[in-house]
Chains A and B, each alone.
Chain A
Amino acid sequence: MRFMMIQFPKVYATAKPGWVPDLKSMEVMGKYNEELGKAGVLLALDGLTPPATMSARVSFKGGKSTVTDGPFPETKEVVGGFWIIQVESREEALEWASRIPASDDEMVVEVRRLFDVTDFDPEVQKEIQKRFGDAEKQ
């Protein structure tokens, strides 16, 4: 099963435009990423720039859409990046998340299972394959 480990870094709510992580934390996280890669569990990973750099929200309400430019000061928890891993169980996913080299109050990590085609009933599976066959294979 696939899990997404989503990190919510504390600094992202107030980070200035153009913010980048410091070299030290990049090195530490780089080592962890290499471990995930070597274990063969890593499918994808990416980091996001903080909302102040370039972001927007679009709300759909009652058939109307409203665009708000970032940052979003009222939001305490902002997505900072993610890993997608393929593991045997939820426990294994939590084990990997627990090994993330984060220090006190640096971030919270949420571990969420991704939908796989096999989670849907056979009828829906066929429909998904027909429509998105190639996109789902990536």
Chain B
Amino acid sequence: MRFMVIIKSTPEAEKEGAARDPQFLRDMGKYNEELIKAGVVLAMDGLHPSSKGARVKFSGKNRTVVDGPFTEAKELVAGFWIWKVKSLEEAIEWVKRGPNSGTGDYEVEIRQVFEMEDFAPMLSEEEIQYKIAKRAELPNQTANK
């Protein structure tokens, strides 16, 4: 099954041009190499601080854009992986092996990714196959790997 593993932000990481602890970055690099070697990683990316981002709120036909930064740093996404593992337990084991130097406290959230098959029987087999095929055309779609 696939999981989205979300690295939550911290007030320090949200600061513009914040210099990350070099030891933490080295540890994270090594950890990423391990994950890739083990064939666990389908995708990974890091996000710029929320100060460069925005939020869109919906109300009827109206859209309101609110520019970042956003204050709840603990709930902000700083980066993510998409992993392919056998179980939630396996995902937890991998997360626990992540960088833990004791200097940078952080939190990671592990969430199950929907597969098209999860929408049966609401979607017919034909519709499921259509959606899978459409997704397979996307350049970065992780379900194809």
Q: Are B77 and A6 in contact (CB under 8 A)?
A: yes
Asked if B29 and A60 sit within 8 Å, CB to CB, the answer is: no
Q: How many residues of A contact B (CB 8 A)?
A: 65
Q: Point out residues on A near B: beta carbons under 8 Å.
A: 2, 4, 6, 20, 22-23, 26, 30, 33-34, 37, 42-49, 51, 53-65, 67, 70, 75, 77, 79, 81, 84, 90, 94, 97-98, 100, 102-115, 119, 131-132, 134-135, 138
Which residues of A sit under 8 angstroms from B32, Cβ to Cβ? 131-132, 135
Q: Is the CB of B36 within 8 A of A132?
A: yes
Complex Cα distance A48/B101, Å? Answer: 30
- 9 A-B interface contacts by CB (under 8 A): A2-B45, A43-B139, A55-B88, A65-B100, A84-B140, A110-B70, A131-B32, A132-B32, A135-B32
Count of chain A to chain B residue pairs whose CB atoms are closer than 8 Å in the complex = 189
**15 more A-B contacts (CB under 8 A) besides A44-B139, A56-B109, A59-B107?**
A26-B122, A37-B137, A43-B141, A51-B111, A56-B92, A79-B6, A97-B54, A98-B56, A106-B58, A110-B77, A111-B53, A111-B54, A113-B47, A114-B47, A138-B145
